Amino acid sequence: ATAMTTAVRSDALETLHRVFGYDAFRGEQEAIIGHVVDGGDAVVLMPTGGGKSLCYQIPALVRPGTGVVVSPLIALMQDQVDALRALGVRAGFMNSTQDFDERRTVEAEFLAGELDLLYLAPERLRLDSTLGLLSRGKVSVFAIDEAHCVAQWGHDFRPDYLSLSVLGQRWPDVPRIALTATATHATHQEITQRLGMPDAKHFVASFDRPNIQYRIVPKADPKKQLLAFLKQEHEGDAGIVYCLSRKSVEATAEFLSRNGVEAVPYHAGLDAGTRAAHQSRFLREEGLVVCATIAFGMGIDKPDVRFVAHLDLPKSVEGYYQETGRAGRDGLASTAWMAYGLQDVVQQRKLINMGEGDEAFRRRAGAHLDAMLALCETAQCRRSQLLMYFGQEPQTAACGNCDTCLSPPETWDGTVAAQKILSTVVRLDRERRQKFGAGQVIDILMGRRTAKVIQFDHDQLSVFGIGEDLSEAEWRGVVRQLLAQSLIAVEGEYGTLVLTEESGTVLGRQREVRLRKEAPRPATSRSASRD
Ligand code: ADP
Ligand code: ZN
């Protein structure tokens, strides 16, 4: 890597002022841009909102030729290109939404050297016709956006990204810059390897988002909890509420609207027109809430999203970080709020157990879920947990801007409670014919004569009613934490509770189990707590 020459630096800075109207580069932008302008390859890991776009837009403007941007976000290309054109940048895109004439116009502009930036979807780029077109014109830089899509284990895997290694072979002299906001070490390695960029310089920005306050609360009546959170702290603010299913997206948007919070749904089951309308309302209006499945948000550039709420547990810490990262891109105080419950864990385990994919895939998915659980159940600073997950050393052990820092959870000796649960599981396990989940275990411990308890004579078990000292919510908390600590596991398609290798140490009184106390909260009906 060469140092940025004075001429290049002033070109880049001049472009930053003149075209984008900004005073100074942020963080590593200057170093990255200098490296790429000088012809070097770069792998850039920067959190959402960190300013990745300028890292390729400025080299594209400074170097002769057209910067080719590979992006999976077809729906956003028109917006991105419009925004650039408004700044006077000669930008175009080619994707499946265009008709023949539109595409021909863009091709002609590219060949005539009249484009600074050309956005392409990966499935278009790999076509021989597109590669041929690019060969006939002049490319200044290849930018591979959302580069984690090349990672096969990732949740955004796009097979078409695998063919992008051809770029380095066909255009060895054109610098390539791969960018992502997903940054585990494994993903990082995979990007470098699969895109064929062994000599790339790596730029890793801090993943800390100090203006985002992280909070995770036990789920009781999630929609009501969400409403209270919004009314108390984010009245009139724009935000995103993530739900796992389309049904709960619809129900939540409706519930919020009925209760005075303007909200619209967004999920893949809505027709394209409705989705586009809701998205553009969100971008243009001040205080709209979008209730969405994860289909919403990738690449959305709205700086003043004040909160991101999760009503269901994300599948991985990467997903959680990326989704919460959509809050507070303007640097102002924002909240990442999540309600999480035992049912989330059981549900996701079941999905993994029943889902597609081979054994290795299931194990990976399980490990992702475990890391997410550990974040939820920690009694330590959430921010430092997050940063350490991404391989970064936190600046302080306690950030002062997450729920566990703001009100440190009390812990208690849950060894006896854990033994009660494990002993019940042992007894149910003897009835091999029948599978029982957490609900039945808790009913037995609490001495409830439900139809299902009576049907299986579970009121005859010696453990029946030995857990009347704790509330249902507390029991659910205990089960959740045992799951997070791998002292118990969920198996099969019915969410059966089973022992783990570690369970024996608890049953044998060889270890103490420290649990965090459930935050006190209003009593809720039993059906609500099962939501
Ligand atoms: P990312 O792609 O990393 O999520 P963007 O490139 O969309 O982030 O940038 C996030 C926001 O920060 C945008 O609104 C962008 O205009 C702004 N921004 C980026 N770099 C600078 C800078 N050097 N000075 C001021 N604003 C910047
Ligand atoms: Zn903290």
Task: Pick the residue whose CA is nearest to atom 24 on ligand 1.
Answer: 22
Residue 230 has pLDDT above 80, yes or no: yes
Rounded to an integer, what is the distance from CA 145 to the centroid of its chain?
16
Cβ 381 vs Cβ 388: under 8 Å: no
Q: Residue 517's pLDDT is what?
A: 86
Q: Residue 519's pLDDT is what?
A: 61
Report pLDDT digits (tens) over 80-112.
Answer: 899 999 999 999 999 888 899 999 999 999 999
CA distances from 74 to 87, 95, 186, 403, 485 (A): 21, 7, 27, 37, 41
Q: Is 325 in the pocket of ligand 1 (CB under 6 A)?
A: no
Atom of ligand 1 nearest to the CA of 46: 3
Under the banding of pLDDT at 50, 70 and 90, the label for residue 187 is: confident
Q: Residue 529's pLDDT is what?
A: 37
Task: Pick the residue whose CA is nearest to atom 27 on ligand 1.
Answer: 51
Residue 136 has pLDDT above 80, yes or no: yes
Q: Is 49 in the pocket of ligand 1 (CB under 6 A)?
A: yes
Q: Residue 528's pLDDT is what?
A: 37
Under the banding of pLDDT at 50, 70 and 90, the label for residue 329 is: confident
Q: Residue 523's pLDDT is what?
A: 38
Residue 526 has pLDDT above 60, yes or no: no
Residue 175 has pLDDT above 60, yes or no: yes
Report pLDDT digits (tens) over 263-307.
Answer: 999 998 999 999 999 999 999 999 999 999 977 776 677 889 999
pLDDT > 70 in the chain, percent? 94
Q: Residue 222's pLDDT is what?
A: 96
Task: Pick the residue whose CA is nearest to atom 19 on ligand 1.
Answer: 51
Rounded to an integer, what is the distance from CA 423 to the centroid of its chain?
37
CA of 301 to the centre of ligand 1 (A): 9
Highest mean pLDDT among 8-17, 377-386, 442-451, 490-499: 442-451
CA of 303 to the centre of ligand 1 (A): 9
pLDDT > 90 in the chain, percent? 63
CA of 242 to the centre of ligand 2 (A): 23
Ligand closest to Cα of 400 equals: 2
Where do runs of H (alpha helix) occur along 436-486? Answer: 438-445, 451-455, 472-484
Q: Which residue has the tokens 């157990």?
A: 353
Q: What is the ipTM of this complex?
A: 0.97
Q: What is the dihedral of CA 302, 307, 311, 314, to 10 degrees?
A: 60
Q: Which of 108-122, 214-228, 472-486 is predicted least confidently?
A: 472-486
Q: Residue 485's pLDDT is what?
A: 87
Mean pLDDT of 403-408: 94
Q: Is 303 in the pocket of ligand 1 (CB under 6 A)?
A: yes
Residue 513 has pLDDT above 90, yes or no: yes
For ligand 1, mutation pick of 30, 44, 54, 203 (most atoms within 8 Å of CB): 54
Report pLDDT digits (tens) over 9-58.
Answer: 689 999 999 999 998 898 899 999 999 999 999 999 887 778 899 999 99
Q: Is 157 in the pocket of ligand 1 (CB under 6 A)?
A: no
Cβ 329 vs Cβ 49: under 8 Å: yes
Residue 251 has pLDDT above 60, yes or no: yes
Residue 524 has pLDDT above 50, yes or no: no
Residue 130 has pLDDT above 80, yes or no: yes
Atom of ligand 1 nearest to the CA of 24: 23
Q: Is 51 in the pocket of ligand 1 (CB under 6 A)?
A: yes
Q: Residue 310's pLDDT is what?
A: 98
Q: Residue 393's pLDDT is what?
A: 75
Report pLDDT digits (tens) over 444-478.
Answer: 999 999 999 999 999 999 999 999 999 998 999 99
Q: Residue 91's pLDDT is what?
A: 97
CA distances from 379 to 147, 337, 407, 481, 502 (A): 34, 16, 10, 11, 21
Q: Which residue has the tokens 């920067």?
A: 46
Atom of ligand 1 nearest to the CA of 55: 6
Q: Is 53 in the pocket of ligand 1 (CB under 6 A)?
A: yes
CA of 309 to the centre of ligand 1 (A): 23
CA of 478 to the centre of ligand 1 (A): 43
Mean pLDDT of 191-208: 90
